[in-house]
Structure 1
Amino acid sequence: MAPKNQSRDNREARERLRLYQARQGLHDRQRRRRVRDNTVGAVVLVLVAALATGSQLVHAGTQGSGKADASASTSATATATPSASASGDTGDTPSKSIAGGKTWTGTLTLNKDVELGIELDGKAAPQAASVEIDLIRKQFYEGTTCHRLADSADFEFLQCGSANGDGTGDAGFQYGPLENVPSDGEYPAGTIAIARGSSPTSQTTQFFIVYGDTTLDGSTGGYTVVGKVTSGLDRLESQITSKGIASPGSDGTGEPKVATTITGATIAEQQ
């Protein structure tokens, strides 16, 4: 039998995924309705499948099991009954057209009082930016945790966004391709990049915030740079990352001593 707090976390993760899927279904129905209303002389029947009340996340690995590709990669995750596409994506990945080739700005709030200004690059990373915009709009991240901290020299990042808060779980999809990858493996302070497993199409909901200039192994393809932190990095360091790691794993990374939760996120097209 799972410990009570683990069972509670699992219930919260299932509820978070259910709500995300429900919001995703609503947005899809609204889009379909607009198409129907704008079609002259056509009658479009939209059949919406019933949403499952519980998630079916398959976990393969836990936080602290080591970083794949000597990087900011997530522990492996998978979804139940995914639908494969020719690109190698699985599940219902948000359309890359969402970002519209534009710059998007917003905020990411941690522990209620660490507010980061963020900027997403819809031109350099259209697919990843579209995914992040969709997840933020549908409030997927709110209540999730930042489960992994690296604080070594030239290796400083905070990783966030797993559905279960421990490096496992996602929103039912994985995607590629890699976009806007630094050719020299250098990720300057303030970089926001997408975490992944060994495959270039294993990107999902997790991302990492680089708070000190970091070098990552690019031999397996590198990591999609989706945007940057434009303000608040000093507060992130003073209130969270500078406090260190609770129990470092074999790779030197681990859960931050300061428990870190995403308590808010906003995004809008830059005017």
Structure 2
Amino acid sequence: MSTKKQARAHAQREQRKYEARQAAKRAKREHRIRIVAAITAGALVLGAASTLIVMAVTNDDEVTTPEASDTTPSATASANPSADSELELTTGWATSPTPPDPSLAEDREWEATIATNLGDIAVTLDGVNAPQATASFVALAEDGYFDQTECHRLVTDGIYVLQCGDPSATGTGGPNYTYGPIENAPTDDVYPAGTLAMARRGGDAESMGSQFFIVYEDSTIPSDAAGGYTVFGQVTEGLSIVEGVANAGTITGEPDGQPAQSVIVNEVSVS
């Protein structure tokens, strides 16, 4: 078989694998929707609809959009992410006013692969010590929320992080919900290389959404009035990919900005 035919055959196999993974994600999402619908119907029949209030009530607190900090992995959350990013969030957990329940993390360690245009980054997710963050990340990943998103921020001085998880790639996007409190933050403010943690707004422990950061070099990130940053995972393979992005610097050459080497998250798979 010629080299071109081999390459074409390989591309076809990869496409079939990708389509199979997407079909599996859709099946999981539909199964979850059916379960929630069944629970809701049962509760109404039994006259116990009040048990679903937490799932159904919209958060009446207005979400503000403060300036992002220049020295911390901050996320400027939006009360209406789709308005900022022109995304149409019509299905899945991203449209929910409340985050996935921490019990979805199943009190266990998860394996995940962040497949990027530069290669795969394998991580473990800590559903034991950071159940809320893990439950949110897993639910969004299974919905395909992170697919085809761009990592929007690289910091190369003071702290050493690559920030991703915003579909708008502006630092203002996220799901319809935010959550807290902070989980599993290091008491000494030291985040070792390979740490996977949640970004949030400065001084707001309840402002986490979908934006996360990967620490590619040991970093001391000072706690603020709200505390530290939720550590919910660890890179096990592929950290060299992030290190290569860091070596390329930012588009402007400044120590904090958009990576010069574009990083596209093709999909995130979990097991």
Among candidates 250, 261, 266, match of residue 263 of structure 1: 266
Where does residue 191 of structure 1 map in the other structure? Answer: 195
Where does residue 204 of structure 1 map in the other structure? Answer: 209
Query: What secondary structure, in the 3-state scheme, does the structure 2 residue paired with 1:97 have?
Result: helix
Query: Is the 2:177–2:209 Cα contact (8 Å) retained in structure 1?
Result: yes
Quick check: which one's strand share is greater? 1
Cα shift at 1:261: 1.0
Where does residue 55 of structure 2 map in the other structure? Answer: none
Residue 243 of structure 2 corresponds to residue 242 of structure 1: no
Query: Is the 1:36–1:44 Cα contact (8 Å) retained in structure 2?
Result: no
- Which stretch of structure 1 is more off in the superposition, 240-249 or 135-144? 240-249
Distance 1:66 1:172, change over 3 A: closer
Alpha-carbon separation, structure 1, partners of 2:73 and 2:256? 10
Alpha-carbon separation, structure 1, partners of 2:37 and 2:97? 23
Per-residue CA shift, 1:204-250, capped at 9, x if unaligned?
A: 01000000001101132010001010001113322x2210111256x
Distance 1:23 1:204, change over 3 A: farther
Query: Is the 2:28–2:142 Cα contact (8 Å) retained in structure 1?
Result: no
| Superposition map of 1:209-228 within 5 A | 209-220=214-225, 221-228=227-234
Per-residue CA shift, 1:62-82, capped at 9, x if unaligned?
A: xxx6526x31111343238xx
Where does residue 127 of structure 1 map in the other structure? Answer: 132
Q: Aligned Cα RMSD in Å?
A: 3.1
Unaligned runs of 5+ in 2: 1-25, 50-62, 82-95
Residue 147 of structure 2 corresponds to residue 166 of structure 1: no
Where does residue 178 of structure 1 map in the other structure? Answer: 182
Give the count of matched residue pairs: 216
Alpha-carbon separation, structure 2, partners of 1:257 and 1:59? 30
The code of the aligned residue for 1:209 comes to I
Query: Is the 2:77–2:174 Cα contact (8 Å) retained in structure 1?
Result: no
Q: Percent identity?
A: 32
Runs of 4+ in structure 1 displaced over 2 angstroms? 22-29, 32-39, 41-45, 58-61, 75-80
Among candidates 54, 65, 69, match of residue 67 of structure 1: 69
The code of the aligned residue for 1:170 comes to G
Per-residue CA shift, 1:169-219, capped at 9, x if unaligned?
A: 211110001000000000000000000003100000100000000110113
The code of the aligned residue for 2:213 comes to F
Residue 108 of structure 2 corresponds to residue 102 of structure 1: yes
Cα shift at 1:32: 3.1
Query: What secondary structure, in the 3-state scheme, does the structure 1 residue paired with 2:256 have?
Result: coil
Quick check: which one's helix share is greater? 2
Query: Is the 1:79–1:173 Cα contact (8 Å) retained in structure 2?
Result: no
Cα shift at 1:24: 9.7
| Superposition map of 1:73-112 within 5 A | 73-79=74-80, 91-111=97-117
Cα shift at 1:148: 0.3
Query: Is the 2:76–2:173 Cα contact (8 Å) retained in structure 1?
Result: no
Query: Is the 1:143–1:261 Cα contact (8 Å) retained in structure 2?
Result: yes
